[in-house]
Amino acid sequence: MQTNQGNLTLETLRFDNSFVRELPADNETVNRRRQVHHACYSRVRPLQVAKPQLLAFSPEAAALLNLPPEECRRNLFAQIFSGNALLPGMDPHAACYGGHQFGNWAGQLGDGRAINLGEVLNLSGERSTLQLKGAGPTPYSRNADGFAVLRSSLREFLCSEAMHHLGIPTTRALSLMLTGEPVERDMFYDGHPKEEPGAVICRIAPNFIRFGNFEIFAARNDLATLQQLTDYTIRTFFPQLGNPGKNSYIGLFREACHSTAKLMVQWLRVGFVHGVMNTDNMSILGLTIDYGPYGWLEGYDPAWTPNTTDAAGRRYCFGRQAQIAHWNLAKLANALYPLVEETAPFEEILQDYTRVFDQHWQEMMAAKLGLQRFDPASDQAMVEELFLLLMEVETDMTIFFRALGQVAEVLVQEQEAVEVCRQVLHPAWYQPEELNPAYQERLAAWLVRYQQRLRADSLEKGARQKHMNQVNPKYVFRNYLAQQAIDQAEAGEYQRIYELLDLLRRPYDEQPEREHFAAKRPEWARNRPGCSMLSCSS
């Protein structure tokens, strides 16, 4: 029954499951691990869990479904989003897709531990797919069990919402549940498995279609299913491209290129590193998807990766993300090519990726520096010198750029620049004793150059720091904060989850009472598992 406020109850959610209605299904109904052909999905039900317990929910994500907070506190909510119950209209299924993993074709992958419950249309007609992660095995689970543990589920729940409030396109997190059952995991694949608390997260997105959904059918030369999937994607999510056909297929690829380029710029803006940019982890909508061993730059290092599996090659390190996205888009182009049979349009769009990325990167850097516009003739070299300085002495990226807003409002003379460094920027350095005279002189010269550039900019004094603070966050979901929340949750203390969720709702605000959450990574966390690097284990 609809409430007076225009909200819905769980019972009145309206399901419109277009993915399963319009696309071919797996003919086999037995849930066993296997290769699935000529089908976009397999129907599969979540497994029952022993003792579902709601740890947290996001009111903002629930509002996407027109669900008020009181609906999320009901026992029925815990039963549904742990996998124990289904609402009328739900049609649970797991999607079939493939992908390139670490640069190599991996064949069929699919939703190995994700089960889509169905698609909800809210009161505004907006579509949201509800997906449980960790609700049991599917035909795509390969050698895994389909379950998830608390540590990885908590990290995804909080990071999804943190990214949203930072203004970065992302899947959302509705709820985090404990299952009451242990799950065995070998966290670092070193032969030392242990039991961990099981958990289920509910993710929300308009769709979870990945580059790999198209790749699997192209690789198998199943062009009929490839066309069905592409036509469905255009009709449902890109109707502005017109009727399905060659022009709209090319248009779909252009949309994916542009949205992905913009997403990469946003990741770089806040120092986010995805960690596993395989093609099966790339959203056709340009969303951040699949929060595995992600991380946040603390000391600025473009070669840093949070993923232990990537430690040797650093394929997915911070500084290569835009390049890898371009590579992944080329694989998407290969998958769509059979529907167009012309290479020129795809090549042209792939070349345009660089233009779109550069344009948005320049706009982003101008905003971070407090400039109204980016002048490549003067600003490119200035930015390159800045990043070299940040690398030379370990400098916290988030703290540095936030503090730079204070510097931008205090135009100083050359002889005062070193004192500005000492007073304003000092909190950003991990090893202040490494600030030798030569480095201080070089940094002071950069500050003078920067402030000369600010004087030439027409932005009104007093407004500059305000604008900078809107793009340079005060708070990000630092790895050590995540690990502290995990440690406490595994000990049965959940207050930190709620505290962080509330903190991350306002990442650009000062929040003086929570200043400690903006501090540099403590030294004890430098090399601690979960705070420095993580594996793909879940």
CB contact at 8 A, 13 and 61? no
Pairing of β 148-149 and β 127-133 = unpaired
Distance from the Cα of residue 137 to its chain's centroid? 24
Helices (H), 370-490: 376-392, 397-409, 417-420, 437-456, 464-469, 479-490
List CB contacts of 98: < 8 A, sequence separation 6 or more: 105, 106, 107, 108, 109, 110, 212, 215, 216, 219, 280
- Give the whole-angstrom CA distance, residue 451 versus residue 407: 9
Rounded-to-integer distance, Cα 263 and Cα 9, Å? 34
Question: Which H or E run includes 99?
Answer: strand 98-101
**Contact partners, residue 466, CB within 8 Å, separation at least 6:** none
The helix, strand and coil proportions of the chain, stated in percent and rounded to the nearest 5, come to 45, 15, 40
Q: Which two structure tokens, joined as six digits, stand for 270?
A: 């806040």
In this structure, the dihedral spanned by the alpha carbons of residues 518, 524, 526 and 530, taken in order and rounded to 10 degrees, is -90
The count of C-alpha atoms lying within 13 angstroms of the C-alpha of 426, restricted to the half-sphere facing its C-beta, is 8
Phi-psi region of 237 (alpha: psi -120 to 50; beta: other; left: phi over 0): alpha
Q: Taking every pair of C-alpha atoms in the chain, what is the biggest distance, in angstroms? A: 76
| CB-based contact 537:493 (threshold 8 Å) | no
The residues, any chain, with a CB within 8 Å of residue 416's CB and separated by 6 or more, are none
321-340 and 223-237 helices cross at what angle (nearest 10)? 110
What DSSP character marks residue 298? S
Distance of CA 17 to the CA centre of its chain: 25
Q: HSE-up of 378 (CA within 13 Å, CB side)?
A: 14
Rounded Cα distance, 360 and 469, in Å: 18
Say how far apart CA 53 and CA 198 lie, in whole Å: 11
CB 188 within 8 A of CB 535: yes
Q: Which of 111, 280, 310, 379 is catalytic?
A: 280
SS3 sequence, 435-456?
CCHHHHHHHHHHHHHHHHHHHH
Active site residue 280: yes
Q: What angle do CA 288, 291, 297 make, to 5 degrees?
A: 85
Helix axes 150-165, 495-503, angle to 10 degrees: 20
Q: Which residues are the active-site residues?
A: 280
